Copies of this chain bind each other. A is one copy, B any other.
Amino acid sequence: MKKLPSFLITLSTVMFFVFFSSCGQQADSPEETARQGFRAAPRIISPELLPDNRVTFRLFAKDASSVTITGEWQQGFGASEVMMRNDTGLFSLTVGPLNPELYAYNFTVDGVKALDPANVQVRRDGSNYQNFFIIPGPESDLYFHNHDVPHGTVSKVWYHSDVLGFERRMYVYTPPDYNNSDNKYPVFYLLHGAGGDEDAWTNMGRTAQIMDNLIARGKAIPMVVVMTNGNANQAGAQNEVPPLPQTTGGRGQEDAVTAMVRGGFEQHLVKDVIPFIEENYKVMTGRDKRAIAGLSMGGMHTQTITYDNPGMFGYIGVFSMGLMNFGPQNRDEETVEKERDEKIEALKNSGYELYWIACGTDDFLYESVTTLREVLDKHDFRYIYRESSGGHTWANWRIYLSEFAPMLFK
């Protein structure tokens, strides 16, 4: 008779676990369940994507006097929309129809930002956590995880930086057949913007989904994608890796501006990252097997790295970044111009395959991108300019990646 009760205990236990886990709550204990499960109102559907691409958001907040929603479909400074309360305390709002795209959003409850407890899809934008959803359609088709295409591996890789003097982390995407073949692959170095880190391109940029889908459709050739941390004062993403201690041999404690302006990251990519990748991965080497692109600050890094190392990269992409100069800032403009002209001429003669500049017409850097093109034109420097609508946004950077990757290594 002893087994019977214990048998029942364990079976009911599993049912108990699964009931709460099927509510989308980890039921590690009844206490946890009581604390979290019931509060999360798991039966509420939000966001609900309607057939006509309108979207309904819902939040149960019977004790709240005001709930608003802030989302990437909204225009203008500090835009938000008011959600309406019904007599049960359920706030809701239907927006759209929205164009096919990935949209981040969050609620604001009596002035405090809150995630949507009914939406498990969350992304990190710097230190800011937001929910997101994707409106399906041709324009967003590459952003979905598709079960019927092979998937690459994303690895969080630690390596030593001689230039910066400490251990650092990067993300490496290896394509679906990487483990099963003896092939060697070309390498695409993909750089993020200010406020981002090595997690940004996969988290905000959907890089793994975009590359999986492009490769499966034969639009991009299989390649290794290396996503570094462009902040020379960081070892890794702030949500997982603590700030560097004073004791590091490196310059981890210098502020972000100093770290950016002195060019430490740019030297580090060339002297630490590329050798590490070419030593530890099944990759091809040489100018025509290396690509580099970056957005915003990463576009600045891309310009600096390619100007200082002509012949190292055959494919170069500058996303949403214009003319810049980050040599010593106290020099007269003539010296700056002379140095820039020499570097442009050297890169012009380096035998690159593609130099691609992309910018949105609403980008606040649009003018400096125009100036960059004027300077390059003065040198008859060969480049392709892609002008999109929109501004300095991840929506554009996902589009630029989707268009740039298919042009590489062909």
Contacts A129-B115, A300-B14, A333-B3; is A166 near B195 (CB within 8 Å)? no
**Interface membership of chain A positions 106-125, coded 1 if the CB is closer than 8 angstroms to chain B and 0 otherwise:** 01111111110100111011
Check: A385 CB closer than 8 A to any chain B CB.
no
Categorize the interface residue count of chain A: 35 or more
Within 8 A of B (CB), among A297-346: 297, 300, 321-326, 329, 333, 336-337
Q: Closest residue to A329 on the B side, CB-wise?
A: B11
Contacts A29-B364, A297-B14; is A64 near B111 (CB within 8 Å)? yes
For A61, list chain B residues within 8 Å (CB): 110-112
Q: Is the CB of B13 within 8 A of A368?
A: yes
CA distance A62 to B108 in the complex (A): 13
Q: What is the total number of copies of this protein in its complex?
A: 2
CA distance A2 to B368 in the complex (A): 10
B-contacting residues of A (Cβ < 8 Å)? Answer: 2-4, 6-7, 9-11, 13-15, 17-18, 20-22, 24-32, 34-36, 38-40, 42, 59, 61-67, 70, 76-80, 107-115, 117, 120-122, 124-129, 144-145, 147, 150-158, 166-167, 169, 176, 179, 193-196, 200, 204, 235, 238-242, 244-245, 248, 255-257, 260-261, 280, 296-297, 300, 321-326, 329, 333, 336-337, 364-365, 367-368, 371-372, 374-375, 391-394
Among A114, A195, A238, chain B packs the most CB atoms within 10 A around the CB of A195
Shortest beta-carbon distance from A176 to chain B in Å:
7
Q: Is the CB of A6 within 8 A of B367?
A: yes
Q: Closest residue to A21 on the B side, CB-wise?
A: B195
Shortest beta-carbon distance from A354 to chain B in Å:
23
Q: Is the CB of A9 within 8 A of B112?
A: no
Shortest beta-carbon distance from A159 to chain B in Å:
9
Q: Closest residue to A106 on the B side, CB-wise?
A: B36
Q: Is the CB of A110 within 8 A of B113?
A: no
